[in-house]
Amino acid sequence: MEARKYIPHYRVSDWEKWEGDWELIGGIAFAMSPSPSYLHQEISGNILYMIKKALGNCPNCSVIQDLDWQIDKDTVVRPDLMLLCGNVTELRTLKRITTTPQMVVEIMSESTKKNDQEVKMDLYTESSVATYILVDPEKKWTEVYELKNGKFILIYQGEGTILPHTFGECLISADWSGIFY
């Protein structure tokens, strides 16, 4: 017997009516973890500040935390951080985005690690996210992946690095070692 045929298939229109925090991936509901830990939030804030500072006065890119991203009619996720490039002024009026971010950062915990490393990595690959960064607060470890020929390639793994990237018209060069306190 195939258990998957008994799992309900949901759409964004269903998800919009739910109480609580949920992600919807390929029509399957995923309950989000309870509120992130203090360490998770501290690291998220450090990354947000670092990227905002690195962006300087770039008018075409913005970094945002905890915003829903609707990928299609069956999929809505809420990455920890996203770098969005394009008409940033227009994006500020939206409840959720529908365009692909240039970069996604996920800060892993024991409860999200498998999902972040497997399910979301596959989803972000299929969605053509240019750069995917996984942060492990326990190990003080960062993995940086770039999308090349439809696959994520690990370009850096370690405690910190200078990460020069061009997103749209904006160059970001930041030392990731400062995100861990």
SS (H, E, C) 8-76: CCCCHHHHCCCCCCEEEECCEEEECCCCCCHHHHHHHHHHHHHHHHHHCCCCCEEEEECCCEEEECCEE
82 falls within a domain = yes
pLDDT digits (tens, 9 = 90+) for 107-123: 999 889 999 999 999 99
Band the pLDDT of 95: cuts 50, 70, 90: confident
12 falls within a domain = no
pLDDT at 178: 82
10 falls within a domain = no
Residue type, 133: I
**Interval 81-106 mean pLDDT:** 88
6 falls within a domain = no
pLDDT at 3: 64
Whether the per-residue pLDDT at 80 is higher than 90: the answer is yes
175 falls within a domain = yes
Q: How many structural domains is the chain composed of?
A: 1
pLDDT at 43: 94
Global pTM?
A: 0.89
pLDDT digits (tens, 9 = 90+) for 122-151: 999 999 999 999 999 999 989 999 999 999
Mean pLDDT over all residues of the chain?
89
61 falls within a domain = yes
Whether the per-residue pLDDT at 164 is higher than 80: the answer is no
The CATH code of the domain that includes 141 is 3.90.1570.10
List of residues 6+ apart from 18 with CB closer than 8 A? 29
Give the domain range for residue 108.
36-179
162 falls within a domain = yes
Q: Is 167 in contact with 130 (CB distance < 8 Å)?
A: yes
Band the pLDDT of 173: cuts 50, 70, 90: confident
